[in-house]
Amino acid sequence: MVVATRARFGLEATGGTTDDARIRDITQALPPEYAAQLFSAREQGAGEDQPGQIAAEGLARMYFRANNTRAHGLDVEFTNVERLDIDL
């Protein structure tokens, strides 16, 4: 699954460090488990926000935390979504 988005991302790490939110264009492949979450949410009648939340979790893990190999404890805020494309 590949997610392409243009949205505002803000970062907050443990220890109180922050990166002010800014608009970013990101295209990132996500592991298959995120596609499974999307299908499951759809089958359960999820609202419009849930696909974006699933994509945001995947982007936080893969793009910002490099598959959770760095930036442990980094929280990612995903707002002001201008575009969100999900290709399976």
Domain ranges of the chain: 2-87
Question: What pLDDT, in 10s, does the model give residues 8-38?
Answer: 888 776 665 666 788 999 999 999 999 999 9
- Is the CB of residue 1 less than 8 Å from the CB of residue 87? yes
- Residue 15 confidence (pLDDT): 61
| Per-residue CA distances from 71 to 18, 45, 50, 75 (Å) | 12, 34, 25, 9
As a whole number, mean pLDDT of residues 55-67 equals 92
Report phi then psi at 52, rounded to 5.
-65, -40
